């Protein structure tokens, strides 16, 4: 046994000490990565916006969706046309995502039926990092059904 820098070096003790130092460095690196990811999420505004929706606003969302239905999936547009209110959660999320990522003049051209504008809007949405809003219903029963 010998003393090195205030530490006693015994058989195997040096290895354990070195292992603790490496574990500590790994832990610090993981914490740094976690902080970086959360800061990046804040910067990109990913899932930062919460929208409270009531069933009374269904008609407003329905009218807006029918105006730009070329940007929605065919099944979603069909469900909206038939008045299926159960798709409201998805519709609100999708409309907010479209509003945030696509420019107003492009949306105007989409509602007029311009195919180039539709392609441009879809490309913009595809490249957008923002995933949409968190949609919460004011009706507690409907919100509970959405969670479960």
Measure the CA–CA gap between 71 and 62, rounded to whole angstroms. 14
Mean pLDDT across the chain, nearest whole number?
A: 78
Measure the CA–CA gap between 60 and 105, rounded to whole angstroms. 20
- pLDDT (tens digit per residue) in 21-33: 566 666 666 665 5
- pLDDT (tens digit per residue) in 103-139: 999 999 999 999 999 999 999 988 988 777 778 888 8
Q: Which of 57, 51, 111, 66 is nearest to 85 (CA)?
A: 57
Once rounded to an integer, what is the mean pLDDT over residues 50-71?
A: 88
**Residues forming a β-bridge with 51:** 135
In the numeric block, which tokens belong to residue 67? 């105006």
Using DSSP's 3-state secondary structure scheme, residue 129 falls into: coil
Whether residue 3 contacts residue 9, with contact meaning beta carbons closer than 8 Å, is answered with yes
Q: Which of 106, 32, 21 is nearest to 71 (CA)?
A: 106
């Amino acid at each position: 046994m010998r003393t090195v820098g205030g530490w006693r070096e015994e058989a195997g003790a040096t290895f354990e000490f070195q292992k603790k130092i490496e574990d500590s460095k790994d832990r610090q690196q993981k914490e740094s990565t976690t902080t970086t990811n959360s800061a990046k999420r804040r910067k990109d505004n990913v899932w930062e916006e919460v929208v409270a929706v009531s069933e009374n606003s269904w008609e407003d969302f329905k009218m807006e969706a029918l105006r730009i239905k070329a940007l929605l999936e065919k099944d979603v547009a069909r469900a909206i046309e038939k008045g299926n209110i159960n798709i409201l959660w998805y519709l609100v999320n999708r409309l907010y995502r479209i509003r945030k990522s696509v420019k107003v003049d492009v949306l105007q051209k989409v509602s007029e039926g311009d195919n180039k504008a539709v392609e441009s809007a879809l490309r913009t949405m595809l490249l957008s990092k923002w995933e949409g809003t968190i949609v919460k219903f004011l009706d507690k029963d409907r919100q509970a059904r959405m969670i479960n």
